[in-house]
Amino acid sequence: MTDTSRTSSGVPAEPGHDEAKLEFTELDWRRFIASLGENPDRSGLRETPMRVAKAWKHWASGYGQDPAEILKVFEDGAERYNELIVVRGIPVYSHCEHHLAPFFGTATIGYVPEGRIVGLSKLTRLVDCFARRLQVQERLTSQVAETLMHELQPKAVGVIIRCRHLCMESRGIRTPGEETITSAMLGELQTNLGMRAELLALAREK
């Protein structure tokens, strides 16, 4: 049976989102280090389990955030504006759910308001919220776009993400410098080719 539950932002809930969490403790990280053939008690590694446990709480902090609460919407200032609003170069730092390896890059978000706009810094926070979860880039792109569409109800939303994946660069095929580009186009951006071309041009790196 498929779980069709959704968060308050209208985005499908993460699998296991409501299940009890099991804390991955410092002892677990000591065991992990030992499983690699290292000595977790040597001076350089003695505090590593504590640091790693703390780091993963930060890297996975997106699970404790509600994307809908991040977006502060304003009506003042949007009365006569009906063109694209684009924020480019939003940093993306996430971890691949297949290998727990980092992937990183930038996101571009564009939208055409329908009487309401959102604080620009909130777009960065929205990307960060979803990026600080175990992810695949395709889902990350869709989640950001769908949340904006649901909460802001604009005429159009477009999200473009460009990332390098260390699971490809440091293992397996080992292709350093390769970028993966994903996009999600909602509302009028699905049918308005001129608007889509404008967003892609604005998102293009110089």
DSSP annotation string for 63-106: GG--HHHH--EE-TT-SS--S-EEEEEEEEEEEETTT--EEEEE
Which one is catalytic: 96, 129, 143, 146? Answer: 96
Question: Is 96 a catalytic site residue?
Answer: yes
Once rounded to an integer, what is the mean pLDDT over residues 39-52?
A: 94
How much is the mean pLDDT over the chain? 88
Once rounded to an integer, what is the mean pLDDT over residues 15-37?
A: 75
From residue 71, alpha-carbon distances to 68, 116, 144 in Å are: 6, 12, 11
Which one is catalytic: 26, 65, 167, 169? Answer: 167
Once rounded to an integer, what is the mean pLDDT over residues 109-134?
A: 95
Once rounded to an integer, what is the mean pLDDT over residues 76-80?
A: 76
Question: Is 165 a catalytic site residue?
Answer: yes
Pick 76 or 131 by higher pLDDT.
131
- Residue 2 pLDDT: 38
Residue 109 near residue 91 (C-beta atoms within 8 A): no
Burial of 151 (0-12, 13-18, 19+ CB in 10 A): buried
- Residue 14 pLDDT: 56
Which one is catalytic: 97, 138, 178, 179? Answer: 97
Question: Is 79 a catalytic site residue?
Answer: no
Once rounded to an integer, what is the mean pLDDT over residues 55-69?
A: 94
Which residues on adjacent β-strands are paired with residue 87?
A: 109
Question: Is 17 a catalytic site residue?
Answer: no
Question: Is 137 a catalytic site residue?
Answer: yes
**What predicted TM-score, i.e. pTM, was given to this entire model?**
0.85
- Residue 4 pLDDT: 42
- Residue 194 pLDDT: 96
What's 174's DSSP letter? -
- Residue 148 pLDDT: 96
Once rounded to an integer, what is the mean pLDDT over residues 175-192?
A: 93
Domains of the chain: 26-59 (no CATH), 66-203 (3.30.1130.10)
Quote the CA–CA distance of 79 and 82 in Å, as a whole number: 9
Which one is catalytic: 137, 143, 146, 163? Answer: 137
The encoded tokens of residue 148 equal: 């904006």
pLDDT over threshold 60, residue 149: yes
Which one is catalytic: 17, 69, 98, 178? Answer: 98
